[in-house]
Structure 1
């Protein structure tokens, strides 16, 4: 792993200028930096409170986890590390210029929110990221899956970030750390260290799915109920699935079944019975099946439209007259007969095969 000199980091961030801050959290700040070769990077520095305590555990843990992983397109990339003048850890990460999923979903400017295709793509990409972690040997549990930790690159591809709380389940030590996470996303079954499992991430992913679908925060005290899980699961149980959908953007008819499926997956993920929650591998399979189903729905009208047009042209040549694209009036018997595109298509195909 590359070790950057402190002078490089100070120069890249203009001495950690406040105007360079692009993210804040309970564990520290993230600065936008420009290296000498012109490369944009994100530099994570501990919060002032942790610096005073000289508590490097979160950044040390993140560096350890990320440096041990092979490249994955859906995980944030660690470029290297450094140390400040007090020997506190600094992380140099790839820069994700489009910000966080949380910003896209919850900023007041509705015009900048993600459309349904982008939301579904994000759900698939993060599911694959978590699946990758769970299939590591030993398994890695992220423990802090939330919209603020989903970042976007220039092409709006999503990557999972912030591994400060992640645990590699490689022995007793992994089951001795206190339960941790973010309120609203935290699995209510995860109350003691021994309850740690991949199902903790599955629950958080389910909350994230509800957030993606609804545009509502995981916890919003201005609403009743305040918890997104309680609100969304109640609507699903009442058969009112589409009422969960974000009203700021219109849901295309051809995507209704896809989004319903997303909601049903989310409801399984947040089950209080851990054994009923699907694995991330199962979730990815279901999501990819939704992609296939959606594509087949989209393609069919395109083919029928083409065939209808072709059939109409042949009928026009046979009748020796011009018609509009939707009807033919046959006045030979003194009555007007309207022939729909669908009827023309069926009649033409039948003529070709009989």
Structure 2
């Protein structure tokens, strides 16, 4: 959909700082109010008004022209994608200078896991965390099926809508594999999530995204940041993988939510083994995004399956009690007289 540029400027009060809600890899995101669409709230992305750096601290400054080109590329990729419930919905653009996407009012996964305040809800339950991991795995698999690599999968780019449904966002570094082969781009990403094996354009593959997803999965399980300079080792991968190899699963699972209970032990083991495979230094041994999604489904259903016998036993007990009461009523009921058994 093509939006009128001036109406989008008006929707953000002229890109007022009070409307700024986030910063992407190459632009700013503002909350916009579309009066002509019944005051619909949307998110509007524009190139930043000053020079900026990419996601890598060591990268050179990005000029305004380069930011415009990146935004155009992002619009091209997002507009080519069919709707997917686990990917941020593209709504349109204005002269390829502004991009309009759905508004996500409940912040990011990074905030949910790592930012504690009165305005932030408690960390999600263990099953909810697995559900989030599954939905993002499906988002990654969807992109790979479309021939798109995200290149910047991280907890900051996983946003929640009004129903607390997670969606993968910020396609500022995303590339189309077909176009990438014709005109390769330099490696890019965020330190802590960036695949160490991705050192040159020709080494880019779907397994690059898989590595980043593995880091997010470790974040979800441990509630530890991808990079935490106050700890040693600072990298979540360097910290978690040795513990997984030593079988010290309990030292990784954190943040409460019931993850330490007995019914989740097998699930935790499967989750962490999958995460370790995702961040393996052996790129070929990493799972595909489809395999990850299938394993997340298994992890989500495992606790339910394990607890099912308890519910079956409870249900059978209730049925037996009702039958016993019914037989007792029949024995104690005489012609012209009834006796109620409570």
Report TM bin, short chain. Answer: 0.7 to 0.9
Name the residue aligned to 1:166: 174
Question: What SS is found at the alignment partner of 1:292?
Answer: helix
Looking at structure 2, the residues matched to 318 and 173 of structure 1 have their Cα atoms a distance apart, in angstroms, of 77
1:144, 1:182 within 8 Å by CA — same for their partners in 2? Answer: yes
Question: What SS is found at the alignment partner of 1:32?
Answer: strand
Q: Which has the larger radius of gyration?
A: 1
- The C-alpha deviation readout for 1:224-274, integer Å capped at 9, x for no partner, is 110000111111111111221124443243233223211111000000001
1:261, 1:290 within 8 Å by CA — same for their partners in 2? Answer: yes
Q: Aligned Cα RMSD in Å?
A: 2.2
Looking at structure 2, the residues matched to 172 and 77 of structure 1 have their Cα atoms a distance apart, in angstroms, of 23
Question: What SS is found at the alignment partner of 2:193?
Answer: coil
Name the residue aligned to 1:285: 294
Residue 238 of structure 2 corresponds to residue 241 of structure 1: no
Distance 1:256 1:156, change over 3 A: farther
Moved more, 191-200 or 175-184: 175-184
How high is the TM-score relative to the length of structure 2? 0.85
Residue 152 of structure 2 corresponds to residue 144 of structure 1: yes
Name the residue aligned to 2:15: 16
Name the residue aligned to 1:189: 197
Name the residue aligned to 1:54: 65
Looking at structure 2, the residues matched to 285 and 225 of structure 1 have their Cα atoms a distance apart, in angstroms, of 31
Residue 6 of structure 2 corresponds to residue 3 of structure 1: no
- The C-alpha deviation readout for 1:140-185, integer Å capped at 9, x for no partner, is 1110000011011111111111111111111564562101100000
Distance 1:26 1:168, change over 3 A: closer
1:145, 1:185 within 8 Å by CA — same for their partners in 2? Answer: yes
2:173, 2:189 within 8 Å by CA — same for their partners in 1? Answer: yes
How high is the TM-score relative to the length of structure 1? 0.82
Q: 1:113 aligns with which of 109, 123, 140?
A: 123
1:100, 1:151 within 8 Å by CA — same for their partners in 2? Answer: yes
How much does 1:39 deviate?
A: 1.0
Residue 271 of structure 2 corresponds to residue 262 of structure 1: yes
Looking at structure 2, the residues matched to 52 and 175 of structure 1 have their Cα atoms a distance apart, in angstroms, of 20
Distance 1:245 1:21, change over 3 A: same
Moved more, 121-130 or 24-33: 24-33
Structure 1 residue ranges, 4+ long, deviating more than 3 angstroms after superposition: 171-175, 247-250, 309-320
Moved more, 214-223 or 254-263: 254-263
Question: What SS is found at the alignment partner of 2:99?
Answer: strand
Q: 2:143 aligns with which of 133, 136, 150?
A: 133
User: Superposed, which structure 2 residues align to 1:1-354 within 5 Å?
Assistant: 2-36=1-35, 37=37, 38-50=39-51, 53-55=64-66, 56-83=68-95, 89-109=97-117, 112-136=122-146, 139-170=147-178, 173=181, 176-251=184-259, 252-311=261-320
Moved more, 239-248 or 58-67: 239-248
- The C-alpha deviation readout for 1:70-107, integer Å capped at 9, x for no partner, is 11111111111125xxxx72111111111111111111
How many residues in Structure 1 have an aligned counterpart in Structure 2?
A: 313
How much does 1:283 deviate?
A: 0.9
2:130, 2:300 within 8 Å by CA — same for their partners in 1? Answer: no
Moved more, 231-240 or 163-172: 163-172
How much does 1:4 deviate?
A: 1.3
Distance 1:172 1:311, change over 3 A: closer
- The C-alpha deviation readout for 1:119-149, integer Å capped at 9, x for no partner, is 111100110011011112xx21110000011
- The C-alpha deviation readout for 1:196-249, integer Å capped at 9, x for no partner, is 100000000000000111111100000111000011111111111122112444
How much does 1:48 deviate?
A: 2.1
Looking at structure 2, the residues matched to 203 and 266 of structure 1 have their Cα atoms a distance apart, in angstroms, of 9
